[in-house]
Amino acid sequence: MRTELRVTGFGGQGIILAGYIIGKAAAVYDGKHATMVQAYGPEARGSACSSQVIIDDKPIQYPYLRKMQVLCALSQEGYDKFAPFVEKDGILLYDEDLVEFSAVPDVRIFRSVPATRYAEELGRVMVANITMLGFFTAQTGLVSPEAMKKAILSAVPKGTGELNTNAFERGFQHQPAEVKLGAGAGV
């Protein structure tokens, strides 16, 4: 089943890497088809960026999003820009310390995680993206935890495996209160 998702934040948060890891987990370790397209501003750090990922059981003919079902937001700018485009009954996942939730018409489910705070508690704010990947894996079920762990370990710098595994587990274990919204309802 085709699922279109976007990971968004700002340069320096590992947003492109997160999209790459999701695609690799799906395609290499779970045997599905996946594409990833990246977009970022002219500055290397601090500008808006995003990864578009499509996961499907069948070959993917067009690699760009048409109907985004999942949005993972690690910045307010990315949330504000892309949340209105999440499909009806879509899922919004966001870092509750960096993003202020506002109601989005037709989005039915949203869940928050303190990804950056968890990463700081682990000693490296740079693993907030991996914490979000743990949360993403647990909340969406689009890739298996085993595949995601393998993809993470294959993509992060040598010597950081334990830190990144701990970050993944911290996000994966986070159990938010689920909130379901009616069309245009507020929190």
Give pLDDT < 70 ranges for the chain.
Answer: 41-46, 177-187
Find where tokens 């294959």 sit.
154
Instruction: Report the pLDDT value the prediction gives residue 164, as an integer from 0 to 100.
Output: 98
Instruction: Report the pLDDT value the prediction gives residue 184, as an integer from 0 to 100.
Output: 44
> How many C-beta neighbours within 10 Å does residue 77 have?
16
Beta-bridge partner residues of 56: 33
Count the helix, strand and coil residues of the chain and give each as a percent rounded to the nearest 5: 40, 25, 35
Instruction: Report the pLDDT value the prediction gives residue 109, as an integer from 0 to 100.
Output: 79
Instruction: Report the pLDDT value the prediction gives residue 101, as an integer from 0 to 100.
Output: 86
Among 142, 92, 126, 150, which residue's Cα sits nearest to residue 15? 126
Instruction: Report the pLDDT value the prediction gives residue 110, as an integer from 0 to 100.
Output: 79
Residues contacting residue 157 through CB under 8 Å, at least 6 positions apart: none
Q: Up-side HSE of residue 159: CA atoms within 13 Å toward CB?
A: 0
DSSP 3-state assignment of 180?
Answer: strand
* Sequence-ordered strand ranges (E) for the chain: 3-10, 33-40, 48-56, 68-73, 86-95, 109-113, 179-180
- Domains of the chain (ranges, CATH numbers): 3-176 (3.40.920.10)
* Sequence-ordered strand ranges (E) for 57-186: 68-73, 86-95, 109-113, 179-180
pLDDT (tens digit per residue) in 52-94: 999 999 999 999 999 999 999 999 999 999 999 999 889 999 9
Distances, alpha carbon 132 to alpha carbons 3, 30, 51, 113, in Å = 18, 19, 14, 8
Instruction: Report the pLDDT value the prediction gives residue 45, as an integer from 0 to 100.
Output: 62
* Sequence-ordered strand ranges (E) for 43-122: 48-56, 68-73, 86-95, 109-113
